[in-house]
């Protein structure tokens, strides 16, 4: 096991990783930008180092500075969290070159799985049903020909990255050129890669993903499914596990298929396979995230498995010590993402409590919400023995959660939870568009 880990991230996920390390008896090293000098993760870590200016490109994306800091601090491993460098194969390789363990998949695996279009072909060969689509298209003309062959409407997507960037819905041919140029520019700015691919638009549908853990000894487990259909502009707002749209029989079937596919490609680490679930109950594979997901904690609340700790253990060469049959998925867990709606300083925070209520956050008195980074300031998660009880608990927790000084989406989240369509479990990706 590692004795010291550097966390190459910030915000609530850096705090989450530091807490996991402390519970494991592992020393932690925080890195921070000038804008984050008073941040919670800086205070909680055993060592902290400023690595640059506020802009992410000069700090949290500065690969060489992070590597140098890890070596200086005497760390054996680097945990990238999510976002920033978490899916950067070059950074993972740089860690290895400098004698550091990258807590995530091997760089070769990351490269192989980074191109979403090629990834779909790989998982199709592994036995999963994939959404009809293309490999990367190099021009507007090529995209038009491909879209005509697939049939409108189509989704235009960035080959690299995630987070809803570089994605456009194209309903007819006249929309394609402008959308192509916009999506390519957005993808280039966000990921340094402007390449795009097309896939058939499946409608109506729900967004369901499956969390996996796999070690280097051939062991793999699936920690159930999460429903992530509550989205706005491809950004997730609420996640729940298990999905109310998936039957027990469907769940068992897709878990078996996912585990077979993951073992076939030889994946090691934590990962998430994302699917669209159509109205006939068919699962269509979209992509795989080779990192820790923002919403991992809703799965942790349901199963009791600490995904962050197991990420670390697997990277240290420790085999999984439980089987698929030992994973309990009874009850219901629901998560609301709490986002700041503008920048400013926090002047009051009251966090709800009670059994099976969790609030993962980076907020402390006087904390500044900066314009330089993601607007996520916390995740409110509850667990109960039934979905109805979980909804009541979540509503009570949202009513109790107080954040003053910065505007947030707490009231919007409360309105969603109180919406009869969400309460019924009968919703899909169109929910926010229909509000």
How far from 42 is each of 8, 56, 69, 433, CA to CA, in Å?
A: 12, 16, 14, 39
Catalytic: 232? no
88: phi then psi, degrees, rounded to nearest 5: -95, 105
Give me the helix-helix angle, 116-125 and 248-265, nearest 10°.
Answer: 100
Q: Copy the structure tokens of residue 377.
A: 């300031």
CB 13, CB 79: distance < 8 Å: no
Pairing outcome for strands 235-241 and 332-339: antiparallel
Tell me which residue of 83, 42, 394 sits closest to 235, measured CA to CA. Answer: 83
Q: From the candidates 291, 313, 337, 358, give the one annotated as an active-site residue.
A: 291
Q: What is the DSSP letter of 58?
A: G
Q: Copy the structure tokens of residue 230.
A: 């509550």
CB atoms within 10 A of CB 254: 21
SS3 150: helix
Residues 6+ apart with CB under 8 A from 149: none
| Cα(227)–Cα(211) distance, integer angstroms | 11
Give, for 301, the enclosing helix (H) or strand (E).
helix 296-303
Catalytic residues, by residue number, are 291
């Amino acid at each position: 096991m590692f004795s010291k880990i550097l966390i190459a991230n910030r915000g609530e996920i850096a705090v989450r990783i530091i807490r996991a390390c402390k519970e494991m008896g592992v020393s932690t090293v925080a890195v921070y930008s000038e804008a984050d000098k008073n941040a919670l993760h800086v205070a909680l870590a055993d060592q902290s180092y400023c690595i640059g200016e506020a802009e992410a490109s000069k700090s949290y994306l500065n690969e060489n500075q992070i590597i140098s800091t890890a070596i200086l601090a005497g760390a054996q491993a680097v945990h990238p969290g999510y976002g920033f460098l978490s899916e950067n194969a070059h950074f993972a390789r740089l860690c290895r070159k400098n004698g550091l363990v990258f807590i995530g998949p091997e760089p070769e695996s990351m490269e192989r799985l980074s191109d979403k279009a090629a990834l779909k072909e790989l998982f199709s060969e592994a036995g999963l049903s994939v959404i009809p689509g293309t490999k990367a298209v190099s021009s507007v003309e090529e995209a038009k020909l491909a879209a005509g062959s697939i049939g409108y409407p189509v989704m235009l997507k960035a080959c690299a990255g995630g987070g809803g960037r570089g994605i456009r819905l194209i309903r007819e041919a006249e929309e394609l050129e402008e959308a192509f140029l916009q999506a390519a520019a957005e993808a280039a700015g966000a990921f340094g890669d402007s390449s795009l691919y097309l896939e058939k638009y499946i409608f109506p549908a729900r967004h369901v993903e499956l969390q996996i853990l796999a070690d280097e000894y051939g062991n793999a487990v699936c920690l159930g499914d999460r429903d992530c259909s509550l989205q706005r502009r491809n950004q997730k707002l609420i996640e729940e596990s298990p999905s109310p749209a998936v039957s027990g029989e469907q769940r068992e079937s897709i878990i078996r298929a996912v585990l077979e596919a993951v073992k076939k490609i030889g994946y090691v680490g934590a990962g998430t396979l994302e699917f669209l679930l159509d109205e006939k109950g068919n699962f269509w594979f979209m992509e795989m995230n080779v990192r820790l997901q923002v919403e991992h904690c809703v799965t942790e609340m349901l199963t009791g498995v600490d995904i962050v700790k197991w990420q670390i253990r697997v990277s240290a060469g420790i085999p999984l010590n439980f089987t698929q049959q030992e994973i309990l998925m009874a009850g219901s867990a629901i998560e609301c993402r709490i986002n700041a709606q503008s920048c400013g300083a926090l002047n009051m925070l009251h966090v709800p409590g009670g059994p099976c209520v969790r609030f993962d956050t980076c907020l402390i008195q006087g904390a500044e919400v900066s314009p330089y980074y993601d607007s996520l300031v916390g995740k409110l998660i509850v667990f109960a023995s039934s979905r109805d009880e979980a909804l009541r608990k979540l509503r009570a927790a949202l009513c109790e959660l107080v954040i003053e000084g910065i505007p947030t989406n707490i009231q919007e989240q409360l309105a969603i939870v109180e919406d009869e369509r969400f309460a019924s479990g009968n919703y899909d990706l169109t929910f926010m568009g229909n509000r």
